[in-house]
Structure 1
Amino acid sequence: VAGYAEALFAVAAAEGNQAAVEDELFRFAQALRSNDELRSTLADQGVPVFRRQQVVEDLLDEKASATTSALVSMVVGAGHAAELPAIVDAMVQLGAASRNKAVATVRSAVDLTVEQRDRLAAAINTRTGREVEVKVVIDPSVLGGVVTEIGDDIIDGSVRRRLNQLRESFR
């Protein structure tokens, strides 16, 4: 995983569009995590490599840069589609570390605007004392609010947690 993460990081840096590639790879990895059929198809060694790579190209066509598409195709072609989310997570960590930041993975029921992401990053910076890059994961199970993970630290600002706390207070 680490070797592939370093390779992806190096290619994105060399292409000069590292932030965009990191974001596109992160979004693709999230899609892969949440779609069992896609994950199964891309990892199925019984499906010819060119067909699995065609699935990647079809999915990313006009939605991601040529660099991102080529990197995902390379990992899938090498037979490591199942590890792609872990590879991308490690690559994103490398990118953030190169900018002296930590990654804050934020789960929310809806996507956040740039302004909301910036405000959230500022609040996390203030609360934790660490500079962070916010990566949003759309998670419909989060009823409202957000759940933030920074390394091993979890900040649960979800409505579900507040409802559970309220329920516990009535017992």
Structure 2
Amino acid sequence: MIEAQVGRRYAEAIYEIAESNDNVKELYETLNGVMELYNTDKEFKTLVDHPLIKREDKKEFAKKIFGELEESSLNIIFYLIEKDRLSSIRGIVAEYLKIYYAKNQILDVEAIFAIEPTKDQKAKLIEQLEKKTGKKVNLEVSIDKSIIAGGIIKIGDEIIDGSVRRQLDTIARS
């Protein structure tokens, strides 16, 4: 809970800065890159999390890695180091993306099918969902053979289950 609040607070501040600098997407890519490095590189994670290493040394290390970035992006990384918040980078990135989607009327939709839909089927589904919701749809498709046929659509907290598995389960419970 606290981690989510921290992520939200930092994401809001960072997003505001990104908007004022007109580099919202670029900063998202930077944050995502930092998150990926933090999650995959043990040496980087150990160094930035180590309590005995001075913040200035951590910043210098980050500058060597991210030195080619715009100054505003680099300053965000430095700020996160200064506040010991790189360990919260996953939550910050997730919240940043939520803010971006909300401000740009983008909706994350997860679709689960028994078999991979064709490009045309995906395009038609996106078109129908965009028409229904009035928002741009970011569709993630996954395959789960256990649903037998049909599909399950998840939009936020709403689940539309049109799978044969659910129908069979409903019949079995009757």
TM-score (norm. length: structure 1)? 0.62
Q: Does 1:99 align with 2:104?
A: yes
Any conservation in 2 of the 1:32–1:85 contact (CA below 8 Å)? Answer: no
Q: 1:21 to 1:127 in 2, by over 3 A?
A: same
The whole-number CA distance in structure 1 between the counterparts of 2:138 and 2:66 is: 24
Deviation at 1:122, TM superposition (A): 5.4
Larger Cα Rg: Structure 1 or Structure 2? 2
Number of equivalences:
126
Partner residue of 2:70 out of 52, 56, 65: 65
TM-score (norm. length: structure 2)? 0.61
SS of aligned partner of 1:102: strand
Percent of pairs with identical residues: 12
Partner residue of 1:45 out of 47, 51, 55: 51
**What corresponds to 2:13 in structure 1?**
7
Q: Does 1:156 align with 2:142?
A: yes
Unaligned runs of 5+ in 1: 106-118, 135-147, 149-154, 163-171
The whole-number CA distance in structure 1 between the counterparts of 2:136 and 2:24 is: 19
SS of aligned partner of 1:87: helix
Deviation at 1:5, TM superposition (A): 0.9
Q: Does 1:131 align with 2:136?
A: yes
The amino acid across from 2:94 in the alignment is: D
1:120-158 Cα distance to aligned partner (Å, 9 max, x none):
x95773485462458xxxxxxxxxxxxx4xxxxxx325x
After the TM superposition, which segments of 4 or more aligned residues of structure 1 sit over 4 Å from their partners?
A: 121-124, 126-130
After TM superposition, the structure 1 = structure 2 runs for residues 13-24 of structure 1, keeping only pairs within 5 Å, are: 13-24=19-30
Any conservation in 2 of the 1:103–1:133 contact (CA below 8 Å)? Answer: yes
Unaligned runs of 5+ in 2: 1-5, 111-119, 146-174
Q: 1:122 to 1:16 in 2, by over 3 A?
A: farther
Q: 1:133 to 1:8 in 2, by over 3 A?
A: farther
